[in-house]
Chains A and B, each alone.
Chain A
Amino acid sequence: MGPESLEAKQKAAVEEVLKAYPAKAAKNRAKHLGVGGPEDETQKTCGNVRSNKKTVPGVMSQRGCAYAGSKGVVWGPVKDMVHISHGPIGCGQYSRAGRRNYYIGTTGVDTFVTMNFSSDFQEKDIVFGGDKKLEVCFSEIDELFPLNNGITVQSECPIGLIGDDINATSKQYTKKTGQTVVPVNCEGFRGVSQSLGHHIANDTVRDYVFDGNPAMLGEPVAVTDYDVAIIGDYNIGGDAWSSRILLEEMGLRVVAQWSGDATLKEMAQTTKAKLNLLHCYRSMNYISRHMEKEFGIPWVEYNFFGPSQTIKSLRKIAAFFDEGVQAKCEEVIAKYQPMVDAVTNKYRPLLEGKQVMLFVGGLRPRHVIGAYEDLGMEVIGTGYEFAHDDDYKRTKDEIFRSTVIYDDVNEYELEAFVKKLQPDLVASGIKEKYVFQKMGLPYRQMHSWDYSGPYHGYDGFAIFAADMDLAINSPVWAHTSAPWDKEGEA
């Protein structure tokens, strides 16, 4: 690292970044930037950063909105329901099928995830209100898509501003037809990021799925002592599937996936599960806490990124069950260990010592650190788009070394940090991808797995390792400087 320690370099970078701001903005941003030390008990949150506050205007934040948190994250992947983007045309179009929430079903007939249903508000709907139009939307959906198992209404900004009553409209329709209709007041201006949208969506699951007694197809599923639900896995690139297989191999029965490849019935049945397994704490801790309080279901956070965390998590989950499950858990760990060793032996030498900077959403800014470190890679910077204090507290346990922590980082800051700290890989979202690739830096999208994945579980780890090698060791990065460039100038 040379004479300057990593920590000193990181602190200097933070100070330098703040200089560019006008005073008011600098004061605000200073509270969101810090340097975290592993197991540093003096820090309240990792890097002592503040979070879940309003974004500074005009800075090019990467954050999304409450609608994105509800429609895009929590409700959108529920496959057998139709999700209406209620309001003008844009929101539904921009968020259509971009998240890779994989599912099995006949799209347009019994499943609808990658489609875009919009009430396409026009000026007259703004002026006169859209409740009548919404009701017609419901009946048209039921006529043309008769196998849908329910409808959700995902409110866009205008709905809450013009005084529409989607709750009454939905209730009325349910009363008339028996159809499950879930109104969600997730207008984009609510809260400061996606996060409030998750919470609002969680609350509507409570009110309309648990308390709503939705009509469901097929027989009720018999309960066993080994029933668990995967909560907060959106099955991006099939993540929940490569997690599910491990849980089933150790003798558990996964009765529901929330909400990747989920159905309404799976969600409703979760109230009878024995244990809730929570992957994305940020987006679904609310409903997990509710189920604990209301139905006495304990929940446990787990992490299926990388073998170290996966093994720890499998044992943590098994500990809730009898010795049979615990024994099988050890068998599963033993079964996959040779594959893990082979992956590590193959890729660690290719990736050892490479430094990584992350900026992602819900759980990944801390959860994926272990996977990188399993490959000998070093995460030196991380941050969340929409985390709260409890996320940054948890982050303290997952970092391995001095790490620059940036909450709600914006384009200017991330670019400045990368230039100063010179990582070998940047891992964030689509909006930033090409900024860093232009600089000749290897990059992986860590929201969509860059059109690869799954990354969860043992099988996912092998893909993750191969993808990181692909990114870092691709010959394309070497072409950036031309042969006629003078040495040292490139």
Chain B
Amino acid sequence: MQEIDNIMNGQKLFQRPEYKEVLENKKEFEGSMGAVNPAKVEEIAEWTKTWDYREKNLAREAITVNPAKACQPLGAVMVALGFENTMPYVHGSHGCVAYFRSYFTRHFKEPTPCVSDSMTEDAAVFGGLVNMKDGLKNCAALYKPEMIAVSTTCMAEVIGDDLFAFSVAAKEEDGGEYLPEDYPITYAHTPSFTGSHITGYDNMMQGIMSQLTDGVEVVKNDKINIIPGFETYIGSIRSVKSIAEKMGADFTMIGDHSDQWDMPAGEYSMFQGGTPIEEAKACKSAKATISLQKYATTKTMKMVTKRWKHDGGTFNPVGLKGTDEFVMKLAELTGNEIPQSLKTERGRLVDAMQDSYPYMHAKKFAIWGDPDFLIGAVSFLLEMGAIPTHVLCHNAPRGWEDEMRALLDTSPRADECHVWAGKDLWHMRSLLFTEPVDFMIGNSYGKELMRDTNTPLIYIGFPIFDRHHLHRYSISGYDGAINLLTWITNKVLDQLDEDTKGIASTDYFFDIVR
């Protein structure tokens, strides 16, 4: 029973003897192997750690277990929230939208506005036109967004609804009351059964950029567009903007969701920050477009470079080299010298790397996440002399595996580095048991791997649900690289303390100074 001066929640409550007894007695009814024959559970648990199990596990063809990817419309919602006063609108069932909102909200600890047009069984039969007509009108009336950005769930994709035709029909029926002729309703088809959330990001970004600029006269200017990609580090967007400002670039961040998911307390307004629609409409006139995430913007960049003939390209400013290349590209595009302030920032990063390198050098890492994140983070690990033993990308697009392999081949210990494209985190579990590493870098889904394999987890990636505020930091630019360095080094040191704190046995190495 609870004691009034020491009310405990479930964490400790269920450790009390009366509850231990209750849970022990419950086993009589359970019929799970743990209740019937715990030795068998132990035996199978041990088997899952073997090479035999690993081979069977890696041979899986159909079932995915503990994935490290999500579906297209999630990325589309992120794009929409990067534009000023823009409502993400998902054409399909509302269950999906409840999921997208919860998922982002659990990561950012911030509200995530998004509507759905709540298609149900009749829409599955007759199509979702009525839902879209009503949905766009209601959304515009209630929330008064400046733009509505429509993506689709797999339901709408399977029945083949035509977003363009539907949005035209919606405007026609509304007759200009809530949806005037020139009201921007941008759209992208985002089928969940193709690619992953980064594909959805790409499709929506390409959709918005091409549709907003459609019919807008191109008057070439000196501007540079910067597309962040599926960036879950708010601070990264700010670091990149700060670099561009220091370089004196006249730039537009296309799809800037940094303020939307970082609202100050005080009052709530549904939308904050974002690329102004007028500025986005002019993005075709820019002379260059830089994408910070190649694999999250493949289609978008194809349009920008092939059809729009923009200069630019992809520059991934994670790690030292990536940031250097980004800075040099900006120098080239602006014609400006690299300012002392950036040179100093770089110097500070290199200084920090030289201070901490003994702790990362030759340490073995397992890492997973989105393809662009991995290119950046693995580059940084290599710059520090670490060994990226297992690099796993569940949503690896075509070309990524080769690029990652080539990157790893620059390591003097390339033969110890393995690339795992299209594999999931249950595969990773086998890899960690059979070819162990010192540390893991990944998202909250790594938690169970940490528990099962005893490998310390450094939280970097998306989603992170069970650690607070990390998303506020930057992992891009020179300052972002210092954050990466700090998190990784200090986890190594925490672990060193953990491993050496044994009194009168190992604590001679429990140094006060390191």
A interface residues with partner B (beta carbon < 8 Å): 20-22, 24-25, 54-68, 79-80, 84, 87-96, 98, 102, 104-111, 114-123, 125-126, 133-134, 136-137, 140-141, 143-144, 146-147, 149, 156-158, 160-162, 188-192, 194, 216-218, 221, 237-238, 241-242, 244-245, 248, 254-257, 261, 263-266, 269, 335-336, 339, 342-343, 346, 410-412, 415, 429-440, 452-454, 458-459, 462-463, 465-466, 479-481
Contact = CB atoms under 8 A, between A and B. Distances in A.
B23 to A, nearest CB: 6
B404 to A, nearest CB: 21
Given A89-B67, A116-B67, A192-B120, A64 B194 contact: no
Nearest to B112: A431
Contact of A188 (B70, B117, B155, B194): B155
Interface residues of B, number: 110
Given A91-B71, A110-B34, 18 more contacts: A58-B118, A59-B115, A105-B32, A115-B448, A120-B64, A122-B193, A126-B193, A144-B60, A147-B33, A147-B44, A149-B32, A162-B158, A191-B120, A254-B26, A265-B30, A433-B105, A434-B109, A452-B9
B31 A343 contact: no
B31 A412 contact: no
A43 B62 CA distance: 54
A161 B70 contact: no
A94 B70 contact: yes
Contacts of A20: 141-142
Given A144-B57, A453-B10, A94 B44 contact: no
Contact of B31 (A56, A157, A158, A217): A217
Given A21-B141, A21-B142, A106-B34, A189 B121 contact: yes
B138 A56 contact: yes
Q: Which of A188, A264, A415 has the most CB of B within 10 A?
A: A188
A49 B177 CA distance: 29
Contacts of B154: 87-88, 121, 156-158
Contacts of B65: 115-118, 144
A57 B113 CA distance: 15
A123 B62 CA distance: 14
Contacts of B445: 96
A123 B195 CA distance: 9
B124 interface: yes
8 contacts: A20-B142, A58-B89, A58-B139, A63-B118, A115-B66, A237-B10, A432-B111, A440-B265
B102 A216 contact: no
Contact of B139 (A59, A67, A241, A266): A59
Contact of A266 (B29, B69, B132, B268): B29
B10 A342 contact: no
B240 interface: no
Contacts, number: 368
A136 B61 contact: yes
B340 interface: no
Contacts of A452: 9-10
Contacts of B23: 104, 241
B103 interface: yes
B158 A90 contact: no
Nearest to A257: B26
Nearest to B130: A57
B468 to A, nearest CB: 12
Nearest to A222: B28
Among all A-B residue pairs, the 8 with the closest Cβ atoms: A65-B95, A265-B31, A90-B71, A58-B135, A57-B135, A94-B99, A136-B62, A88-B192
A22 B133 CA distance: 12
Contacts of B63: 84, 117-119, 136-137, 140-141
B104 to A, nearest CB: 9
Nearest to B263: A438
A68 B263 CA distance: 30
A106 B26 CA distance: 16
